Structure 1
Amino acid sequence: MSSENRFSDYDAIERIYLPARKELYEIYLEELEKLILQHLPKGAHIFDFCCGRGELAQLLIKKGYQVTGLDGSEVMLRCARENAPSAEFILDDARYFKLPPTFHAVVFIGNSLNDIISIEELESVFRNLYVALLRNGLFVFELKLEEYYTSSMSVPTSRGDVENDFAWIERYTYDPQKKVAQENFTKFQLIKEEWHRSDVTFLSKAYSQTEVQSVLEKVGFTEISIYDEERDLGVDRSPGIACFVCRKP
């Protein structure tokens, strides 16, 4: 599909997003086991939404599940197919994809839902996932709430790294009035003995727990449970990251 219709800007910064530690995804897997995996049938079909490099997909396959992943980055999916060759992967936009009722569960581990900065598009995502679930299917996802942005991004911050042929810097700012964070990436890459600069900007939205729960209910999800990952689930994360679990009746 056209890169204009998906979050293809991640292709430009794939090298910056180094593979996460294996131990981190094993922690995610333990979290999913407690929340939903124990309630799924043997060999259930799981939809790894915004799957990135496929690290979680491979762990789920090793547990005996069938996995389909979706991501908007062609570069990320190239890595995912190497990391989880037994999974099926789809290149599509998280906001507009259409799939028939197929999955026993949808799992989303990461921050990409915050990159959807309008409540209308977030509703579209939830509605499409609702359709893709089988009846009685489960949906679990992470989301950074307002508490995360006000505690972790209250002042502008930056980070970066330098290698022999590659350098980058990332700058964060947060507007508490608009509840929108901005990440500005600048990278320099040595190509044929010449340095090339490129810039890309990402916006993310600080949603409230009430807003998200209201949209889930509007779409039709029931049995909505909300956990603070640090306080309720014992996951060593920054404050304000919530885990939502709900069901398609």
Structure 2
Amino acid sequence: MTDGPATRYARAARTWAPIDWWKLEARAVYERPELRRALAPFAPVEAWRDLAKDVATAWGILLTLSHIAALTLPVLAGGMLLGWLFQRDDLAPVGLTGLLAGIGAVLAGIGLVTEAREPTGTDPRIGRLIGGLHLVPSTLGLLVATLAISLGSADAPLGVVAFIVDVGVGIAYFVLNRGPADSGSDRGRRNLARLERALGELPPTDRARMEADAREAIDVLELRDLVGADDAARAREQRLGLLAMEMAPRTDLATQRR
């Protein structure tokens, strides 16, 4: 009898809901962070914490910073220039606001590159929201900065370039996050390929140990009457990495891996 993390989770459970299949599988593959990252795009939001535990990377931190910047820096820059537009009691701070917009654009660009290299399954609606938080304020900032430059009232005219770049970043977010998050999209195919690659790279001994842990956990759940015999039998038929996806698929995905 194994005593792996998935089995311990099954023994400790008092009730069982669909989300628990994800939490169980996250524990079964706990020692392989790359596999947990590959599973995350297919998992409900409630399971992301379990799948992401102890797998934070420098790229992930930069991606988080890029999202924070998207919510603050371009909006702050655009707001400062709009404030000047209504007061006009000094030179327009095109240099400072351009710097803020430029920092936001750089961090957001890092986020785009990271998402392309290591998809996290971010909902396209979130991507479009981030794009809007770059596109709208930086477009307004670009218009006001252009006006200030034409009036000779800009402190650092070159700052306008940063607004142009940030507008481009906002457009890129919209282009790369168009359409629904389903497995028939390019994003879905990349996620599936990444999952298959992570599964294929599992050493045989690790795979055997994780599969034994998952099977033992299913036996415990059935023995404790937390899942029925039919569900237990169906769960035993699933291979590692696809257990939760089959037992508790995300409802917002149009198709699922079979």
The TM tier, using the shorter chain, reads: under 0.3
Greater Rg by CA: 2
Greater helix percent: which structure? 2
**TM-score, structure 1 normalization:** 0.27
Greater strand percent: which structure? 1
Q: Relative contact order (alpha carbons < 8 A, sep ≥ 6): 1 or 2 greater?
A: 2
**TM-score, structure 2 normalization:** 0.26
